[in-house]
Amino acid sequence: MEHSILRDRIINKALELGADDAGVCRASDLLSGRTHSMFPMPEGIEDHHSILVMALNHPPGKPELDYFFKKDGFRFGNSEGNRRLMAISERVAQWLDSQDIPSRDLHYYVERGGIFLKGAAALAGLGTIGVNNLLVHPGYGTRVRFRAHLVETEVAPSVPLDFDPCLDCAKPCLTACPELALNQREYIKDRCRDRFDRDYEEGVPLPAGDTGPVTREVHYCRECEFACCYKGSKENGE
């Protein structure tokens, strides 16, 4: 099968199975980048492998897609949005297996051999990385989540987008961050991580019995995301 035909079939299957958008990049293009060179390389990925990136819209009216839970100081379960993406990835794997194409889900813990989802999404033609250090999708803006799936064969990559919504923007995202992680026009990861950790520690107490053993609901900061002027071309129920 031609590599471009296989790409289109895989993307269409991901959309059919619930993704709001999808694209493909070469694993070698992602892993040879400067950023990935600073972290452990994911095991079992070869140069001829491809990465399917799946997108899920996350509108402001559905904050619960990002909620995590904690009990006794430990994170419990997974966010609803990520669970949905993992389920789509699992169904994609089942379909690829029926086509005799080996594949597997990829996680996003880069320090433990995962991959940078934003970089993969940009290479896969799903958007561009803005000055806010977020992937800006042409249809959903910054309100989008990603999951990656390794396809262990060569697939024609999608074409990266010629798309720059930040070019003529006033860039309010640079001053919206409560931790000032963007106000120097560069992303200061440690400041963002400090807020991330504080959000996790504080959590929101839940009424007893509503969620069984879970005691707190974690709402992570999305200020830079909501400050983005580019809202995307697609309307989605909020």
Q: How far is CA 236 from CA 119, 200, 217, in A?
A: 24, 28, 25
Do 122 and 212 touch, CB atoms closer than 8 A?
no
* DSSP for 49-64, written as a single string: -EEEEEEEE--TT-GG
Check the CA dihedral 175-61-141-127 and report its sign.
Answer: positive
Tens-digit pLDDT profile for residues 13-56 = 999 999 999 999 999 999 998 878 778 788 889 989 999 999 99
**Alpha carbons 195 and 197: distance in angstroms, whole number:** 5
**Model confidence, pTM:** 0.90
- Is 211 a residue whose pLDDT tops 60? no
Residue 197's H or E segment, with its range, is helix 189-202
Q: How many angstroms separate the first and last alpha carbons of the chain? A: 40
Query: How many other C-beta atoms can be found within 10 angstroms of the C-beta atom of residue 185?
Result: 8
Residue 217 is predicted with a pLDDT of 84
pLDDT tens for 161-176 read 999 999 999 999 989 9
Q: Tell the residue number behind the tokens 């830079």, with chain if given.
A: 224
